[in-house]
Structure 1
């Protein structure tokens, strides 16, 4: 089973019917309720969809998302692979609003999030190279090619705490790190998914220029207060409305691919040592 975590504007795709299915509602987990979940069936394909920031609108910002509940709920529903979309800002001058990116590395600049299911336990030393599932990355690139869409393969995503945007000095620092994108949602999502041996792939669309990348006057009452021109806003919107098509193509290709990556084996050491049982539910109770 494949799970899709929708990022910013996923709620718009739900309300417009571009993503539709059987509403399962929130799943009760040891960490509280997950975001509401929809089981999508389309052209004999099935996947689980969860809107990270809310079902009817942007009701919860990145620092306050219940990442553990969401990942636990997907695992409970049998999800083995997670496609997550995110709308970061561009640090790299070669990226423009509306561009698609499949990053391959991550820098964690968050501050107060819960990063693990294994609090107070001696497990969880999980390798982070590669950070994201390489098999899913290859499939996603093929999906973009089949759709005739351009995608930037590779790049480093910096995840900040939020909800505020970053300062120009912070962006200059991240540029010294050779980061390409700055967003707020991939951490701890990817780390939690890997602890439960789930494959995780982010597909990003550039939603704005990071602060200081380009001079922009303040415009009150608008998203990002003037960081986007009207044409750039349209490019971003055009990218968002392609996500149902992109997801469908990636899910179609993944349906014919057995998991040959290392993601299902990330916790083998702890099973062999006797720290973890065969039932993943017992790992985190």
Structure 2
């Protein structure tokens, strides 16, 4: 299985016997991936933004990232994201286990299937793996980590923050948190029939809700404050994942191909 680290999560110090590797894929080179073990599980760690947060959200090579994990044989992914809150009751420092998204990205390639490989229409009714989310929730409860068991993530293009008017619109559409990276990452994982679950760490109130000017320094500060809790959650969750998959993610392409 794999962990994809977002802003603030650039390493997993609990991985044993770490080795580092980059992959050349049909879509470009992956960031450096750390491979190792946790108990009896093989674990890969991929920093979404690359070394030193070099790639802004709109320039992340999502296809190379996901393809490289597939080359490793990864079947399950835990991802972390920093996110702004659209709900005054959802405060900085809280964790949200995503179960839906709204896609407001503009210029990102969001599929592996562009016609040459065939045409596939993949079902995204339930975009995040329910089995992984349930394990995360139970583990968070055991660790006394405050967590929302569901949440709708709206993904924007970035790298700018959103306007207050955009946030008002997103609230009317039912979004709970806002970020810049979970789409197309979750979609590409589904196309590769991987289980994918995401933990959003609330780092700030979004534009127009916050009384302050938005800064990345604020995001980084809250992520730093919550990094150990996030690592504890991942460290405690990974060993609990059963070997056999029973969720629908493993058959995502079944019935999705256009037959002519």
Do they superpose with TM above 0.5? yes
- The residue that corresponds to 2:3 in the other structure is 4
Summarize deviations over 1:40-97 as a string: whole Å, max 9, x none: 3233433110001123x22111110100000000011010011110001111111111
- Match 2:225 to one of 238, 248, 256: 238
Which region of structure 1 is more displaced relative to structure 2, 205-214 or 154-163? 205-214
TM-aligned CA deviation for residue 154 of structure 1: 0.7
Deviation at 1:217, TM superposition (A): 4.9
SS at match of 1:89: strand
Partner residue of 1:154 out of 147, 150, 157: 150
Structure 2 equivalent of residue 80 of structure 1: 75
1:183 CA drift (Å)? 0.2
Alpha-carbon displacement from aligned partner over 1:102-133 (angstroms, at most 9, x marks no partner)? 01110000000000001124422111111111
Residue 27 of structure 2 is aligned to residue 31 of structure 1: yes
Out of 126, 132, 135, the position equivalent to 2:122 is: 126
CA contact (8 A) 2:38 2:239 kept: no
Instruction: Pick 1 or 2: higher relative contact order, CA cutoff 8 A, min separation 6.
Output: 2
1:61 — aligned with what? 56
Which of residues 217, 223, 226 in structure 1 aligns to 2:216?
223
Residue 258, structure 1, aligned to residue 253, structure 2: no
Render the CA deviation track for 1:154-202: whole Å, top value 9, x for unaligned: 1110000000000111101101101100000110001111111001100
Evaluate the alpha carbon distance shift between residue 206 and residue 135 of structure 1 in structure 2; reply closer, same or farther with a 3 A threshold: same
Residues 1:249 and 2:236 are matched in the alignment: yes
In the TM superposition, residue 272 of structure 1 has moved relative to its aligned partner by 11
Largest Rg, 1 or 2: 1
Once the two structures are TM-superposed, the CA of residue 236 in structure 1 deviates from its matched residue by 3.7
Once the two structures are superposed, the pairs formed by residues 70-109 of structure 1 within 5 Å of their partners are: 70-109=65-104
Q: Would you say the 8 A contact 1:115–1:192 is kept in 2? A: yes
The CA distance in 2 between the partners of 1:19 and 1:62, in whole Å, is 26
Would you say how many aligned residue pairs link Structure 1 and Structure 2?
Answer: 259
Which stretch has the larger CA shift, 201-210 or 109-118? 201-210
1:176 alignment partner in structure 2:
172
Over aligned residues, Cα RMSD in angstroms? Answer: 2.2
Measured in 1, the distance between the counterparts of 2:165 and 2:2 equals: 36
In 1, distance between residues paired with 2:3 and 2:49?
Answer: 13
Counterpart of 1:200 (choices 177, 196, 200) is 196
